Amino acid sequence: MAEEIKTFKVTIDNITIDVPAGTTVLNAARQIGGDVTPPAMCYYSKLQGSGGKCRTCLVEIAAGSIADPRPMPKLVASCRTTVMDGMIVKNITSEKVKDARAGVVEFLLLNHPLDCPICDQAGECHLQDLGYEHGKEGTRYEFPRRIFEKEDIGPYIQLHMTRCILCYRCTYIADQITDKRVHGILDRGEHAEISTYISKAIDNDFSGNMIDVCPVGALTDKTFRFKNRVWFTKPVDAHRNCETPGCCGKATLWLRGDEVYRVTVRKDEWGEVKSYDDKPGWICNTCRFDKKKTSDWVIEGVTKVNRHSVIAQGR
């Protein structure tokens, strides 16, 4: 007889659902969707161990469980907190959360340059959306922003360390889907930075996926850099018979006319890579950087952009 899956009732912003035990508050909220879902800048469901770094997903736990209905004294990271039976969570219905989130945005922007007009990530940058939806108009910060020595990390990926928010996603990618990680976060606190081991280029077959998981413009595609604004391009779903082991061969091509300006993984409404047969649909560097002709691909049709974003304009 199949084992019965234990479920818990959780109420988020007055909406009650049943979720399997062990589900995080963030993933429970994603099942409801819309505004009830907290933003997430570092958690990435397809990368084990991600989350717990950025604090954008903070929520208020108004009641811990049926067994112990006391509220939690502090706001908690929803990506790292599992639901309990009878838990009551407040996200957009909590003034404390709104205030704390505005504070987190202010912190993230302390050192982040406001160079959206020249940044290739503009239009699909999660920090841009976060600042717009949850940030304040002004800044109270009067000190110079951090600056870093420019570092070349190879022919395909441009690192702009000043834009990095230290979410660690790119290091998880390198650990989990490439065969050798040559970059990581060096130093601590104010001095912490993404760097390669003695400026070694990142040349693994799957390194390009780091560009797709970076929520800001810290890692961008050198082959697309400064070529076009993303909202002028038209995303289409396409596939090819790729022989690289581990590559799903399913991608989004960003076209202007018949020209392929860039190739990315296909993304879901949370900005994460889509899964196929329960496996994340990562693509190899050959598909991403070398297959820049429409004749290299079988075009399936216009990409449906679920995310509320300017990238939906080009369809």
> Which of 167, 267, 177 shows the shortest CA–CA distance to 219?
167
Q: Which two tokens stand for residue 230?
A: 């993303």
Burial of 262 (0-12, 13-18, 19+ CB in 10 A): buried
Residues 218, 255, 273, 283: which binds ligand SF4 (CB under 6 A)?
A: 218
Q: Which is nearer to ligand SF4, 58 or 165 (CB)?
A: 165
Q: Which does 24 bind (CB under 5 to 8 A by kind): ligand SF4, ligand FES, none?
A: none
Q: Which does 216 bind (CB under 5 to 8 A by kind): ligand SF4, ligand FES, none?
A: ligand SF4
Q: Which does 252 bind (CB under 5 to 8 A by kind): ligand SF4, ligand FES, none?
A: none
Q: Which does 164 bind (CB under 5 to 8 A by kind): ligand FES, ligand SF4, none?
A: ligand SF4
Q: CB 215 → ligand FES: shortest distance, Å?
A: 10
Is residue 168 close enough to count as binding ligand SF4 by CB under 6 A? Answer: yes
Distance of alpha carbon 233 from alpha carbon 310, whole angstroms:
11
x/- map, 54-73, ligand FES, by CB under 6 A: xxxx----------------
Identify whether the C-beta of residue 300 lies closer than 8 Å to the C-beta of residue 294: no
Is residue 130 close enough to count as binding ligand SF4 by CB under 6 A? Answer: no
Q: CB 263 → ligand FES: shortest distance, Å?
A: 27
Is residue 103 close enough to count as binding ligand FES by CB under 6 A? Answer: no
- Residue 99's H or E segment, with its range, is helix 95-111
First to last CA, the chain: 49
Residues 52, 64, 103, 184: which binds ligand FES (CB under 6 A)?
A: 52
Distance of alpha carbon 142 from alpha carbon 145, whole angstroms:
9
Question: Would residue 132 be called left, alpha or beta, if left means φ above 0 and alpha means ψ between -120 and 50 degrees?
Answer: alpha
Distance of alpha carbon 292 from alpha carbon 311, whole angstroms:
20
Query: Around 131, how many Cα atoms within 13 Å sit in the side-chain half-sphere?
Result: 21
Is residue 122 close enough to count as binding ligand SF4 by CB under 6 A? Answer: no
x/- map, 182-201, ligand SF4, by CB under 6 A: ------------x-------
Question: Would residue 108 be called left, alpha or beta, if left means φ above 0 and alpha means ψ between -120 and 50 degrees?
Answer: alpha
Q: Tokens 């509320």 belong to which residue?
A: 308
Residues that bind ligand FES (CB under 6 A): 40-43, 51-57, 77, 79
Residues that bind ligand SF4 (CB under 6 A): 164-170, 194, 213-216, 218-219
